[in-house]
Structure 1
Amino acid sequence: AEDEDPVVLEENEWEVTPDQENPMDPPGFDEQLLGLKAGDSKEFTLSWPEDSQSIYAGRSVNISVTVHKVQSYKQAELTDELAQMIGPDFETVEDLRQGVRESLLEQAQQEAESDYLEQAVTALLEQSTLNYPPAVIEDQLDVMMNETDQRLRQMGLNGLNHYFEMVNQTQEEYRDQNREDAKRIAERNLVISEIVAKEKLSVSDDELMERIKETFGEEDPESESAQNMIEMFRDGPGRPILESQILTQKALDRILAIVRGEEIPEPVAEAETDANDETPADAEGEESAVVANTAESATEDAGADDAEEQPAASDQSPAVDAAAA
């Protein structure tokens, strides 16, 4: 690098596929490789633009490459034998076509459902009254900075502080730059947490174990590594993380069910209640109505001109009121 603090990247063997639509970094790298053949070597200097999202924005790099081999793609003839090589579920070309067709349909359905859910959550956020201290956003910024620091270290860099030195940026400038994203994520998490509380969602031991086993893949669940994972996520520090992931998915599934008008199971009534409190059925009915009506109102707003205003719950959480504004 052409500055006072050079960065030396370790030499590695890469398989490079030049692609005009998805060029490699730094800009111009693909073009420098065009025309080279096996055994050729080449040295060149490239730069990242000042406005690049790369951690090397505004810097130059001296690159030395040696081509070991050059390969090209050749379209194979579509035969039953090729279909069988692609997967055990395919005996014939028609089986392969049907499998691809079903896979594309499933992918399209998942994308449509994801878009639909995102619209519902966005509308729900717009309909919600959120009350929370500024520290919530600061905490989310801390989480984001820790995650970025870990990613940079996995890339072989010396963490976020080194990144700040490289791009001549302060920690406060970085936090200000990411504050809106942190606000959006924090508010989304607050609404989801409120839905978990209002709908009385929970995670059973069986659900937890099922999720843990999903991480094994084809690994023997009785193996030492699998048992260590079970211990960490069932009884150790990993349990709250896994429970949070499951509850988040349950809350998102509940939002989808509400906006689709599907039947929602009644929340489990608490065993005990104060004599002066409302009956469990009444209280739960009111809480469920707040979430359901908010989500329904949000969905109606996405497709209609007017949405009925919903009342706020009497026992709303001080952190976030998931009621229509």
Structure 2
Amino acid sequence: MKATAEKIENNKVKLKFQVDAQEFEKALDKSYVKNKGKFIIPGFRKGKAPRKLIERYYGEGVFYEDAFNEIFSDVYWRAVEENGLEPVDYPTVEEIEQIGSGKDLVFTASVIVKPEVELGQYKGIEVEKVEYNVTDKDVEDTLKRVQERYARWVAVEGRPIKEGDMVTLDYQGFVDGQPIEDGSAQNYTLEIGSRSFIPGFEEQLIGLSAGDEKEIKVTFPEDYGVESLKGKEAVFKVKIHDIKEKELPALDDEFAKEVSDFETIEEYRAHLKEDLERIARNRAREQMEDQLLSQVVEAAKVDIPDVMVEREIDIMLGNFEIGLYYRGLTLKRYLELTGISKEDLRAQYRQEAYTRVKTGLVLEKIARVEGIEVTQEDLDKELEELANQFNITVDEAKERFAESVERRKDEILVKKTIDFLMDNAVIVDKAQKTQQDDQQGDVKAENGNESTSQQAVKDTTAE
């Protein structure tokens, strides 16, 4: 097999194939064996007629298409490898110039390949330093959120509903005197103050007691998900069954033992602070990385094929659809509720998809230029981190996660490349950067004044 590659457009390559006649003959034989049972020839049982006889009855080219398909994938990928191509789309057969038994198979195909990236500056990029300080209040707020998770609801008697209570009630909604479809429930549980119901509904329950019944008037928001209810006034008949209040556990050593592996509440507080500081460092790092990447990607030039952007949109939409599924929605239902089309949704993702693709291509090029690779040491480090995260041994982590870590090589390479860029960036404090900008502004102003003076001299001389 011979194959030549010719670049015909920025990202399009034309391949010309010449497959040896003997190789194509083998493909014809395979096609015959696979398909002979489909043909009926007088005097022969089904599937027993010789190939030549079938070709005589049904035409010489009866097996050509299947034989071509049989051989195409193999010769195409051989050509891709031999010519060092990186396809980003399926190939298109352009023309079959010669085909036949006893002849070389000659044809052309085209394919979109990964574009070349022209890097701009990526070392010495100025990045504004980002820091987040963890305060004692942050720790206490986090501790209170944990406390809330371990709260229990206790039935109350002898008092009406107040903010923060959990209420069990029946309700039925009406618009213009007609029952609202799916607008009723029995023994519905509602936390007062959660703002999970129609605006104004929860507030009107405050002051009611167990056993009370009431008609509540509300107005559906203009942006409500059901078109027929937008902006409509409604009446809900409610009946209160029971009221519960939240009982928080004491923040003491026993609480610490219950919610963590620590013996005292102070040890648990120290752990929370360390955890918050780690999150703060990661958040700051991510924001500085975003600053850096936006500059590096902006400085690079690349002609991105539409198909790469469309594929990225497919991935983003797929992830979005999974997210909807976990919220109890289908994509079809989401589109109905929002009143947008799938094409509109794809258009909303297009710019972000373009940026993602370009970022990936730029990072890939930098890794190649700088010789950044994923080593066995890198994979072992990932396994160690997983072992620490799940509190297991490294050997157990290898047994459980070795394959998934191997599949994450591309992610690890991206992380290493970003680390390389950060190591070669110039981190400046905000005050320092402001001072530098002011100085640059002064220099420009001085240069501008000088130019004005020089022009005045020229004008005077001219006079």
TM bracket, shorter-chain basis:
0.5 to 0.7
Residue number in structure 2 paired with 1:249: 415
Three-state SS of the structure 2 residue aligned to 1:18 is: coil
Deviation at 1:169, TM superposition (A): 2.2
Q: What SS does the corresponding residue of 2:281 show, helix, strand or coil?
A: helix
Q: Equivalents in 2 of 1:221, 1:43: separation in Å?
A: 63
Residue 370 (structure 2) pairs with residue 199 (structure 1): yes
**For residues 166 and 70 of structure 1, what CA distance do their matches in structure 2 show?**
34
Seen in structure 2, the aligned counterparts of structure 1 residues 162 and 127 have a Cα distance that, compared at 3 Å, is same
Structure 1 stretches of 5 or more lacking a match?
262-295, 307-325
Deviation at 1:194, TM superposition (A): 2.5
The structural deviation recorded for 1:255 is: 1.9
Cα contact 2:383–2:402 (8 A) shared by 1: no
Structure 2 residue aligned with 1:131: 303
Equivalent residue letter for 1:203? V
- One of 164, 170, 177 as aligned partner of 2:341: 170
**Per-residue displacement from partner, 1:105-159 (whole Å, max 9, x unpaired)?**
43333322222222111222222223212222222211111112222223232x3
Q: CA RMSD in A?
A: 4.9
Task: Please state whether the residue corresponding to 1:71 is helix, strand or coil.
Answer: strand
TM-fit CA distance, 1:35:
4.8
Instruction: Note the 1:230-269 alignment, pairs <5 A.
Output: 230=401, 233=404, 239-240=406-407, 242-260=408-426
- 1:147 maps to what in 2? 319
Letter in 1 for 2:308: V
Once residues 191 and 214 of structure 2 are traced to their aligned partners in structure 1, the CA distance between those partners, rounded to angstroms, is 15
Name which of 54, 59, 70 aligns with 2:244: 70
Structure with the larger strand share: 2
Aligned match of 1:18: 193
C-alpha separation between the residues in 1 aligned to 2:349 and 2:339? 16
Query: Which amino acid in 2 is paired with 1:70?
Result: K
Q: Take 2:377 and 2:188, find their aligned partners in 1: how far apart are those partners?
A: 45
Q: How big is each residue's C-alpha offset from its partner over 1:200-252, in whole Å with a ceiling of 9 and x where there is no partner?
A: 333345644664672882579999xx96x647636xxxx54x22322222222
Residue 390 of structure 2 aligns to which amino acid in structure 1?
A: G
Unaligned runs of 5+ in 2: 1-172, 176-180, 441-463
How far apart, CA to CA, are the structure 1 residues paired with 2:187 and 2:354? 39
The alpha carbon displacement at 1:80 in A equals: 5.3
Cα distance between partner residues in 1 of 2:257 and 2:357: 48
Rounded Cα–Cα distance in structure 2 between residues aligned with 1:57 and 1:302 = 50
Aligned partners of 2:204, 2:403: CA distance in 1, in Å? 48
Q: Report the counterpart of residue 185 of structure 1 in structure 2.
A: 356
Count of aligned pairs: 249
Q: Would the aligned equivalents of 1:48 and 1:58 in 2 still touch at CA under 8 Å?
A: no
Letter in 2 for 1:185: R
Judge conservation of contact 1:195–1:251 (CA < 8 Å) in 2.
yes
Do the aligned partners of residues 37 and 172 (structure 1) sit closer, same or farther apart at CA in structure 2, a change above 3 Å counting? same
Amino acid at match of 2:312: Q
Deviations 1:244-303 (A, max 9, x none): 322222222222212158xxxxxxxxxxxxxxxxxxxxxxxxxxxxxxxxxx9xxx9999
Structure 1 pair 245/180, CA: closer, same or farther in 2 (3 Å)?
Answer: same
Determine the C-alpha separation between the residues in 2 that align with 1:17 and 1:206.
54
Aligned positions of 1:273-292 closer than 5 A: none
| 1:41, distance to aligned residue in structure 2 (A) | 8.4
Structure number with the bigger relative contact order (C-alpha 8 A, sep ≥ 6) is 1
CA separation in 2, counterparts of 1:191 and 1:82? 50
| Residue aligned with 1:126, SS | helix
Letter in 1 for 2:350: R
The residue number in structure 2 matching 1:217 is 390
Within 1, Cα distance between the matches of 2:358 and 2:253? 53
CA contact (8 A) 2:313 2:346 kept: yes
Distance 1:87 1:161, change over 3 A: closer
Q: Which residue number corresponds to residue 456 of structure 2?
A: none
Verify the 8 A CA contact 2:198 2:220 in the aligned structure 1.
yes
Change in Cα spacing, 1:178 to 1:97, as seen in structure 2 (3 Å) is: closer
In 1, distance between residues paired with 2:314 and 2:382?
Answer: 28
Cα distance in 2 for partners of 1:9, 1:153 equals 24
3-state SS of 2:318 partner: helix
- TM-score, normalised to structure 1, is 0.55
Structure 2 Cα separation of the partners of residues 75 and 14 of structure 1: 22
- CA distance in 2: counterparts of 1:10 and 1:220, whole angstroms: 50
CA distance in 1, matches of 2:282, 2:410: 22
Task: Specify the code of the residue in structure 2 equivalent to 1:164.
Answer: L
User: Aligned-pair distance for 1:199?
Assistant: 3.0
| CA distance in structure 2 between the partners assigned to 1:218 and 1:42 by the alignment | 54
TM-score normalised to the size of structure 2?
0.41
Q: Write the distance in 2 (CA, Å) between the matches of 1:231 and 1:9.
A: 51
Query: Structure 2 counterpart of 1:112, which letter?
Result: A
